[in-house]
Amino acid sequence: MNDHQYAVIMAGGIGSRFWPMSRQNFPKQFLDILNTGQTLIQSTFQRLTDFIPPENIYVVTSNEYMHIVKEQLPHIRKENILGEPSRKNTAPCIAYISFKLMQKDPKALLIVAPADHMVLDRIAFKKVCLEALSFVNKHNALITLGITPQKPNTGYGYIQRELQSVTDNVYKVKTFTEKPNLELAKTFLASGDFLWNAGIFVWQVKNIIRA
């Protein structure tokens, strides 16, 4: 396991699309949606520990959810849980962690992932994340993970990629489109060069600080 690899779990959302199961005072990332015995944030944490040391995993959440994170992730260091005063302050929290990691480890590689994803294939997830971490370790690039769309869904953002890969499974991004209407989503799906935006980002900390 690479000690230079770190992760930030974004856990500040209110999960409004899952209402009434998900409520503002106890949103979906803290629920056991699939009845697996683990909440979504617990599953996310466990999934990341497949390739990232637990002590290198941070959580950014709303101040009002700090106590829930501590309850559900009792083994995470207290200093690794950051509270944001409002849900609009995520970027400063990420910047703060990046600067903090740069001081601690100039070779740090960072993956930023939402707490509320449902990932059924942990082996495939690990493989893709390790490919992304390896790429950003060698290139001045920011990676965003894409998911092959199964249907024209209007609830996701879309990434249009170049047809020619840079290397292996890595492609340059042409455009981003946030939650298109149904007709546009159908066009995207038919074109074959659009992916769902997973909202997972990977970069080398020193490069994001320079950017």
Query: 83, 62 in Cβ contact below 8 A?
Result: yes
Indicate whether 62 belongs to any domain.
yes
Least confident of 9-13, 51-55, 67-71, 184-188: 9-13
What domain count does the chain have?
1
Give the lowest-confidence range in 51-60, 87-96, 108-117, 173-182: 87-96
Task: Answer whether 101's CB lies under 8 Å from 81's CB.
Answer: no
Whether the model pTM is above 0.75: yes
pLDDT at 120 over 80: yes
Three-state secondary-structure class, residue 67: helix
Asked whether residue 206 is assigned to any structural domain, the reply reads no
- How many whole angstroms separate alpha carbon 65 and alpha carbon 48? 21
Q: Does 94 fall in a domain?
A: yes
Could you tell me the CATH number of the domain that includes residue 82? 3.90.550.10
Q: What band does 24 get if pLDDT is binned at 50, 70 and 90? A: low
Residue 208 lies in a domain: no
